[in-house]
């Protein structure tokens, strides 16, 4: 689970950087935003199923 959380953190950081660098009118912006929302949701779901969270 730890490795997956690390991968998600890296993905979210890179998506955030991409959103900062891409102009609001750029065609890729909507896809970056959608990927960012999906990655955030996945991180929430992972937190719900984290076995270490119950400790």
pTM over 0.85: no
Sign of CA dihedral 21, 25, 31, 35: positive
Q: Where are the domains of the chain?
A: 2-54
- What pLDDT digit, counting tens, does each position of 9-49 carry? 999 999 999 999 999 999 999 999 999 999 999 999 988 88
């Amino acid at each position: 689970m730890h490795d997956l959380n690390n991968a998600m953190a890296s993905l979210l950081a890179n998506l955030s950087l991409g959103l900062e660098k891409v102009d609001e009118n750029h065609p890729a912006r909507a896809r970056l935003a959608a990927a960012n929302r999906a990655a955030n949701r996945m991180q929430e779901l992972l937190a719900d199923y984290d076995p270490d969270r119950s400790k």
